[in-house]
Amino acid sequence: MTVSIEDVAARAGVSTATVSRALRGLPNVSELTRERVRDAARALDYVVSPSASSLATGRTSTVGVVVPYVGRWFFGQVISGAETALRQSGFDLLLYTVGAEESRRRFFEELPVRRRVDAVLVLSLPLTDAEVAAIAGLRLPTAMVGASVPGFSSVRIDDVGGASKAVNHLINLGHQRIAMIHGAGIEPAQFTAPEDRRRGYLSALASAGLDYDSSLQVDGGFTLAGGERAMASLLSSKHPPTAVFAQSDEMAFGALRAIRRAGLRCPEDVSVVGFDDHEMAEMLDLTTVAQPVTEQGVLAVGHILAELRGEAAPSDDLVPTHVVIRGTTAPPTAKPMRARVPARSVARSAGSSSAG
């Protein structure tokens, strides 16, 4: 026999409306009553019908996640954290990828999340004023990861400060000719991490009285292959750097491969610092700036669920970063390095590789 919401209400001694609110996690239900309803539902093996619940409450038990990329490590980790937190709270995740300019324009013009989701999570996609207005017009709890918008909750790191920590670590070791492998060419154009981390790099150099050299900044596109090409270019210069700050660990991995293929050693010939603390960083003994990537997705979900329950207003979380010192950094040696492989060969090898 099918168990109905009326059966649960009768067993718990409450109204059907109270049962609905209690099982959907809505406010205005005491914890004692909520637990009594849950006990009754478990005893009767009652499962809430998603369609019936949506009709009765106007809720979909779904959160829309808007992301520029899916296949890249950072975004995959944040999505994983968000999905786990949502699933544990009985919510589904509906993913929208807007990395291409046309898909982004269409998304914000059509807003396909309307009436499909209870809240919106935007990952590392700084919004224009028009896009902010479009999302705000949905009147749904919204959280940002990697950016801050008034009226929306946000979870982010200090990219400027994190990059400064990485470069200061190299400066404190005695390095003066420090290069940077960046991702300024990455799309979408408003992605802020490359420019913020560049500002941190330049700030650290200026504070130490070191000269700015534009030839020491090379685009690596936030990929392993791009990092390898960038490092090969730096090694082919007349005065190569003694240390490199890569704006992501994936680019740092590529840099390490280019160093090895050039017949050089890290850190004896050149030191490398990454950013993220990717799960492969420890295996490759990479010094890096650690940030809690998966946890940022969990924290952002916590904000929007609290807003849905009426328990909190939008808030801003700035999560900390710290330098994890491993084996790819050391003081510079007095002897200038010499690549054992011709620079053109290194560049050609890097150009033929693909991201891992």
- SS3 for 276-305, per residue? ECCCCCCCCCCEEEECCHHHHHHHHHHHHH
Q: State the pLDDT at residue 234.
A: 97
Q: State the pLDDT at residue 48.
A: 64
The one-letter amino acid code at 169 reads H
Per-residue model confidence as pLDDT tens digits over 288-315: 999 999 999 999 999 999 999 888 888 9
Q: State the pLDDT at residue 344.
A: 47
Would you say how long the chain is, in residues?
356
Question: What CATH number has the domain spanning 5-57?
Answer: 1.10.260.40
Tell me how crowded residue 337 is: count the other CB atoms within 10 A of its CB.
19
Q: State the pLDDT at residue 181.
A: 98
Q: State the pLDDT at residue 208.
A: 97
Question: Where does CATH 3.40.50.2300 sit in the chain?
Answer: 62-157+293-318, 159-291+322-351
Question: Where does CATH 1.10.260.40 sit in the chain?
Answer: 5-57
Average pLDDT, the chain: 88
CB of 123 within 8 A of CB of 75? yes
With a cut of 80, say whether residue 347 has pLDDT above it.
Answer: no
Mean pLDDT, residues 210-217 taken together: 92
Q: Give the C-alpha separation, 104 to 187, whole Å.
A: 11
Per-residue model confidence as pLDDT tens digits over 97-107: 998 889 999 99
Closest CA to 179 of 230, 119, 127, 103: 230
Q: Averaging pLDDT over each range in 65-69, 154-158, 340-344, which range is the top one? A: 154-158
Q: State the pLDDT at residue 348.
A: 47
Residue 68: both structure tokens together: 């520029």
Q: How confident is the model at residue 190 (pLDDT cuts 50, 70, 90)?
A: low
How large a percentage of the chain has pLDDT more than 70? 88
The one-letter amino acid code at 114 reads R
- Torsional sign, CA 29, 33, 37, 42: positive
Edge-first strand order for the sheet with 322-324 is 217-219, 178-182, 243-246, 271-276, 287-290, 322-324
Q: How confident is the model at residue 126 (pLDDT cuts 50, 70, 90)?
A: confident
Instruction: Provide the angle, in degrees to the nearest 10, between the axes of the packed helices 249-261 and 343-351.
Output: 140
**Hey, is 217 helix, strand or coil?**
strand
Q: Give the C-alpha separation, 170 to 173, whole Å.
A: 5
Question: What CATH number has the domain spanning 62-157+293-318?
Answer: 3.40.50.2300
Q: What is the dihedral of CA 95, 99, 101, 103, to 10 degrees?
A: -20
Its pTM stands at: 0.78
Residue 308: both structure tokens together: 């849905």
Task: Spell out the residues 6+ positions from residue 261 whose beta carbon is closer than 8 angstroms to its own.
Answer: 232, 341, 346, 349, 350
CATH class label, 159-291+322-351 = alpha beta
Q: State the pLDDT at residue 243.
A: 98
